[in-house]
Amino acid sequence: MRRLLGRPGAAVSAAFLLVVCVAAAAADLLAPYAADFVDLPAVLGPPSAAHPMGADGSGRDVLSRLLFGARDTLVGALLATVVALVVGVTAGMLAGYFARWVDAVASWVFNLMMALPAIIVVLAFVAVAGPGLIGMMVFVGFLASPSIYRLVRAATQRVRGELYIDAAKVSGLSDLRIVRRHVLSVVRSAVVVQAPLLFGAAILIQAGITFLGLGEPGAPSWGAMLNDAATNVFTAPWLSIWPGAAIALTVLAVTLLGNAVRDGLEPARAPAAAPPASAPPAPHTDALLTITGLTVAHGPVTVVDAVSLAVRRGEVLGLVGESGSGKTQTVLAALGLLPGTGRITGGGVVFDGTELTGLSERDLNRMRGRRIGYVSQEPMANLDPSFRVGSQLIEPIIVHLGLSRREAKRRALDLLARVGIADPARIYRSFPHEISGGTAQRVLIAGAVSCDPDLLIADEPTTALDVTVQAEVLDLLRSLQRERGMAVLIVTHDLGVVADMCDRVAVMRDGRLVETAPAARLFAAPAEPYTATLLAANPHNATPRRPAPRVTRINGKAHPGRSAPVPGLAVSGPNPGRPNPNGPIPVGSIAGRPDPSGPVTGGLVFGGPLLEVDRLCVDFRQRGRRRPPLRVLREVSLALAAGKTLGLVGESGSGKTTLGRAVLGLAPITGGAIRFAGGPPAPREARARDVQAVFQDPYSSLNPAMRIHDILVEPLLVAGSHTAADAGRRIRSLLDRVGLPAGTGERRARELSGGQRQRVAIARALALGPRLIICDEPVSALDVSTQAQVLDLLIEIQRDTGVAYLFISHDLAVVRHVSDRVAVMAQGRIVETGDAEQVTTNPRDPYTRRLLLSALVPDPEEQAQRRAARLAMFPSST
């Protein structure tokens, strides 16, 4: 509110609207006459002491009617706005969330309402219902609701796919509660922005209706006053000034306030300050890019502090650090691409003898693309969805190299073939949404090298890619660098990428450069403790998981090391009374089928598998009547014992996440069966007590509009297992259990770090005391040190509670660290299962071997051996 009222236009508009509302509410006290008082001698009289604004054609005081008219006008506009918001928001959320027939019916109704001629419909309504203010403005609200419906429906459709909606479903919340609590809390910002504009439009609509004489006869309103003024425009022209000014100023104030609300909801942007005039020290003689004493600030916060480094001609330099270390801000400052809040406050950047920080935007554009290429982290976000891939590739070629469109197209097609794209012509014609993430990254690399730059800057070029695609992209970058003699600056948090690519390494922490060394020396003997900590935290350097002490729970009490089975459960097979059509499932089997890799690590499985997936098939419908369903899972079978961890490994598109969603009740099952504790799983809302989830993105899985306490306590209150006081105590205990400080519950997700958000997600998964947690890529979005902390926390929780994990990941090193057994998926099928150590070190299936050899390790010598073995076994197209 303070930021909003700090804008002069918003403050003046709010003050004016406050005066109008107070005057309308106090019209009985402020008006010199009653609204219908007639002074016949003053008919069409000019402003005077008795009538400060004159008198209308009936002898009524204009000032009095203006005040009473404000009341009717504002009340009528508010009524129409409220009706439009209630109808549009409710219908929009329901249609956007439930989709299918609800969306079809609602969209048909509201499209029909938009197609109707509004003025004719209003005339018909007045003819039938009469000219009453309330009924007429309610009807106007219904007619205005389609605009709100379309806005809210679109916002809800975007929200519906967010992970925090799935998390709410997994927590056992009903769909209506999710719509009311989670969807509304997010889409309301769009409604808040639209409401003032709708209110202003309602004022104009009501004024127009009453101006046409369709309002209640004799009732004071600004539109009726304009009608009277129009009748006497030649004899008393001043009569139109007062209601016209009132309408115009009120609508203008409402519009300005609405725009201020919209701007106030966006993050503040400070203007970028000019770089310092002082010249930096002379660059190193053989350096292509020299950064000297670079300091970058965002508002009052310094994010890069006196960083100095150099990239020599033809070398590959790795800039390493965790999120927030300042590595990306360093390269953005060097390229002149800092966001609006960022500014260079010290130091300089020299490229091949040219000081970049003093160049104009025009001169920088000549340098960027032509001599400095750039590959960003998110390929889809950096390809314009409105243009085809080809048009985006040839534009810089035409601008920088001066080639004709035909020559540029030929060069672009050659580049697409060079970066390993099998069908360059098809990709050239495609839109970005029609290609995969790996292909999009190859397109960006082709664009970055299209003008033969001297320096290529790659910012996290493989972070969002699978291990096999990641290995292929790095092979491509390596071959292009050697082929063209480019210098390459790679920004990454992955030490495996550094070991695979880099000649030298610079390590950043908290905006400062802490160590620079040749890659081989840094990995063998890091000089700084922080660098050693990063290396130790990498899961490839972690020891494999040891069998955890057995925890048997009897009547809610834990009995570590107890060898007796839980009473009432068979030693092998499902629970009595729940027959398994495939017969008893022996120890060391996958859904009743013998597993050649041997028994489950840790001994007997008491009570049989907790989770059984038997020949599961999942199909997804495709758009188009004649297109057959897309089969994602193909007769997948596996089993998971209580208290154990089953790692599920595969590339994107292999079906592993779909399998996890099917277990959670979030994906449709076409064939096969899922059994939990020997029986069919409960309905989704009841399933929450037994099965929970930790999702990949720790930010998207938490509702940004809700406090952490409200997110965590909601499943407990909905389940009815705790009073509000007991639920609050349990949430505080859970936050403490996952290592979060006191007061975290009062904060929102945006106020927490990535690791803290994922700890909140783990606390939510534990709230109902589940027996199984689906962990879907729970650490892939985290830095390596935070990743290690979260993995250790999961292992510790399992040892304390006996919960089972289905751990989904594409990283074999992470899976090896946490899992007892591993199942490998490819193209919707299980291709290999076995003990975690055996599968992750000596796999039998060629696909698993390819995954293993593609995984990067933070050791230059071992990584070079792996790369050679992979290229010998699976030759790269690049």
Token pair, residue 197, equals 């504009």
SS3 content of the chain, % helix, strand, coil (to 5): 50, 15, 35
Residue 653's region, left for phi above 0, alpha for psi from -120 to 50, else beta, is: left
Is the pTM higher than 0.85? no
pLDDT tens readout for residues 455-483: 999 988 887 677 888 888 888 888 889 98
Reply yes or no on whether the pLDDT at 138 is more than 80. yes
The DSSP secondary structure of 310-349, one letter per residue, reads EEETT-EEEEE--TTSSHHHHHHHHHT---TTEEEEEEEE
> 270 pLDDT exceeds 50?
no
Which of these ranges, 5-9, 207-211, 266-270, has the smallest mean pLDDT?
Answer: 266-270
pLDDT of residue 560: 41
pLDDT of residue 295: 93
Q: Does 133 have pLDDT greater than 80?
A: no
Q: Which of 64, 230, 170 is nearest to 770 (CA)?
A: 170
pLDDT at 407: 92
Cross-strand pairs, 559: 552
Distance of CA 363 to the CA centre of its chain: 35
> Can you list the alpha helix ranges (DSSP code H) found in 171-240?
175-177, 184-211, 222-231
Q: What is the pLDDT of residue 570?
A: 28
Q: Number of helices and strands (H, E) in the chain?
A: 32, 23
What's the pLDDT band for 263 if we cut at 50, 70, 90? Answer: low
For the segment 558-583, the average pLDDT, to the nearest whole number, is: 33
Task: Assign 545 a pLDDT band (cuts: 50, 70, 90).
Answer: low
Domain ranges of the chain: 2-35+51-265
- pLDDT of 584 > 70? The answer is no
- CA dist 234 and 236 (Å) reads 6
Q: Looking at residue 592, what is its pLDDT?
A: 32
Phi, psi of 839 (to 5 degrees): -65, -40
Task: Report whether pLDDT(382) > 60.
Answer: yes
Query: Does 586 score more than 60 pLDDT?
Result: no
Overall average pLDDT of the 642-669 stretch: 90
Q: Which of the residue ranges 97-106, 127-136, 578-587, 645-654 would you say has the lowest mean pLDDT?
A: 578-587
- Residue type (1 letter), 298: H
Could you tell me if 405 and 469 are in contact, meaning their C-beta atoms sit under 8 angstroms apart? no
- Determine the Cα angle at 437 with ends 478 and 538, to 5°: 60
Nearest to 145 by CA among 89, 77, 206: 89
Instruction: Give the mean model confidence (pLDDT) for residues 604-615.
Output: 72
User: What does the pLDDT read at residue 261?
Assistant: 67
The CB-side HSE value for 727 (13 A sphere, CA atoms) comes to: 19
pLDDT of residue 7: 61
| pLDDT value of position 367 | 87
Specify the residue for token string 């020949």: 615
The band of 504, judged by pLDDT with boundaries at 50, 70 and 90, is very high
Question: Average pLDDT, whole number, for the chain?
Answer: 81
Per-residue confidence (pLDDT) for residue 464, from 0 to 100: 64
As a whole number of angstroms, the distance between CA 535 and CA 542 comes to 10
By DSSP bridging, strand 821-826 and strand 829-835 are antiparallel
Residue 142 CA to its chain's centroid (Å): 33
pLDDT above 50 (res 58):
yes
- Tell me the three state secondary structure of residue 301: strand
What amino acid is encoded at 23 in this protein?
Answer: A
- Which of 503, 820, 512 is CA-nearest to residue 640? 820
Q: What whole-number percentage of the chain has pLDDT above 70?
A: 87
Confidence of residue 184 (pLDDT cuts 50, 70, 90): confident
The CATH topology of domain 2-35+51-265 is: MetI-like fold (1.10.3720)
DSSP β-ladder status, 589-590 and 630-641: unpaired
pLDDT of 606 higher than 80: no
Q: How far apart are CA 522 and CA 298, in angstroms?
A: 31
Which range, of 37-41, 444-448, 868-872, averages the lowest pLDDT? 37-41
d(CA 832, CA 845): 6
What is the DSSP track for 824-836?
EEETTEEEEEEEH
Distance CA 740, CA 696 (A): 19
Residues of the chain with pLDDT > 90: what percent?
Answer: 23
How large is the average pLDDT for residues 803-810? 93
pLDDT confidence band for 129 (50 / 70 / 90): confident
Query: 798 or 600, which is more confident?
Result: 798
* pLDDT reported for residue 296: 92
The Cα–Cα gap between 453 and 486 comes to 7
Task: Examine the pLDDT at 823 and tell me if it is beyond 90.
Answer: yes
pLDDT value at position 249?
87
